[in-house]
């Protein structure tokens, strides 16, 4: 199935996720509809994190999906779809971009954060009736707030400026491909594409796991998208959100 090439633009919104949810209260948007804005005044990430973006410089967008074929307990696969689509889009732009996926929802370039996502699922019975997947991608901004010390943009790496509408079109095409893998049961291919770009996979590094500081290596993801790690003492850990901190 091909996602509808449908875009809805607002000059300014609180958040594109909230705007998409508002629109869905009165209409069923075609699957694949992207809601985007030049200025997002109340962008959010996971938990209490804020997404800070200079107006007109970056991608602040949300896509609407209806993955009613997907069991609710497999909803992390949607995070894989969005992550892989962003990586594919970045790699298609320039070979200088070598994106990595930092669990659970960030995209890194050169060990710094270039993108984040926030996915909201509406569960109906045992399946996912509706998904709003928000994406923030730093594109042409070159100076960032001190509250985002690890932020980087495409322009900071390449020295080039990019057309936001063109990038949105490229992302939509990459999303169509990644989502099709999920729809057609090619879960292993999707997971391979996800793990092949996994940040720190099988590399020893410092973490705080369940409040304990230790060296460990990421070995993959487990049930429900839990992060799997093995410590230097061979202890194995399965971590959910807020149970592991990546130390520098």
pLDDT, one tens digit per residue, over 144-176 is: 877 767 899 999 999 999 999 999 999 999 999
Residue partners of 11: CB distance under 8 A and separation at least 6: 37, 38, 39
Residue partners of 240: CB distance under 8 A and separation at least 6: 224, 226, 227
- The pLDDT value given to residue 116: 94
- The pLDDT value given to residue 55: 86
Q: Tell whether omega for the bond before 104 is within 30 degrees of 0, i.e. cis.
A: yes
**In percent, how much of the chain has pLDDT > 90?**
85
CA distances from 118 to 15, 54, 97, 126, 184 (A): 11, 19, 22, 22, 24
- The pLDDT value given to residue 43: 59
pLDDT band at 46 (very low <50, low <70, confident <90, very high): low
The mean pLDDT of the chain is 93
Examine the pLDDT at 234 and tell me if it is beyond 60: yes
pLDDT in tens, 173-188: 999 999 999 999 999 9
Work out the average pLDDT over 20-27.
95
- The pLDDT value given to residue 152: 96
Q: What is the pTM of this model?
A: 0.93
- The pLDDT value given to residue 5: 75
pLDDT in tens, 69-127: 999 999 999 999 999 999 999 999 999 999 999 999 899 999 999 999 999 999 999 99
Residue 58, number of CB atoms within 10 A of its CB: 28
pLDDT band at 52 (very low <50, low <70, confident <90, very high): low
Work out the average pLDDT over 230-246.
95
- The pLDDT value given to residue 23: 96
Q: Is the dihedral of CA 28, 30, 32, 38 positive or negative?
A: negative
């Amino acid at each position: 199935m091909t996602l509808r090439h449908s875009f809805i633009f607002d000059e300014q919104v609180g958040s594109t996720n909230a705007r998409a949810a508002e629109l869905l209260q009165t209409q069923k948007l075609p699957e694949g509809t992207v809601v985007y804005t030049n200025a997002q005044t109340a962008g959010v990430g996971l938990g209490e994190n804020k997404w800070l973006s200079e107006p007109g410089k970056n991608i602040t967008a949300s896509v609407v999906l209806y993955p009613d074929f997907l069991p609710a307990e497999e909803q992390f696969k949607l995070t894989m779809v969005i992550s892989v689509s962003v990586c594919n889009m970045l790699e298609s732009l320039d070979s200088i971009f070598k994106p990595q996926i930092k669990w659970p929802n960030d995209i890194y370039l050169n060990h710094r954060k270039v993108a984040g996502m926030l996915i909201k699922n509406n569960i109906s019975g045992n399946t996912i009736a509706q998904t709003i997947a928000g994406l923030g991608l730093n594109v042409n901004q070159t100076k960032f707030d001190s509250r985002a010390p690890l932020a980087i943009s495409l322009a900071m790496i390449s020295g080039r400026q990019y057309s936001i509408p063109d990038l949105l079109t490229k992302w939509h095409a990459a999303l169509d491909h990644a989502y099709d893998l999920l729809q057609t049961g090619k879960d292993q291919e999707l997971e391979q594409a996800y793990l092949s770009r996994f940040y720190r996979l099988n590399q020893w590094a410092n973490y705080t796991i369940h409040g304990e500081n230790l060296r460990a290596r990421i070995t993959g993801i487990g049930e429900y998208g839990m992060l799997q790690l093995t410590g230097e003492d061979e202890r194995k850990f399965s971590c959910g959100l807020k149970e592991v901190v990546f130390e520098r």
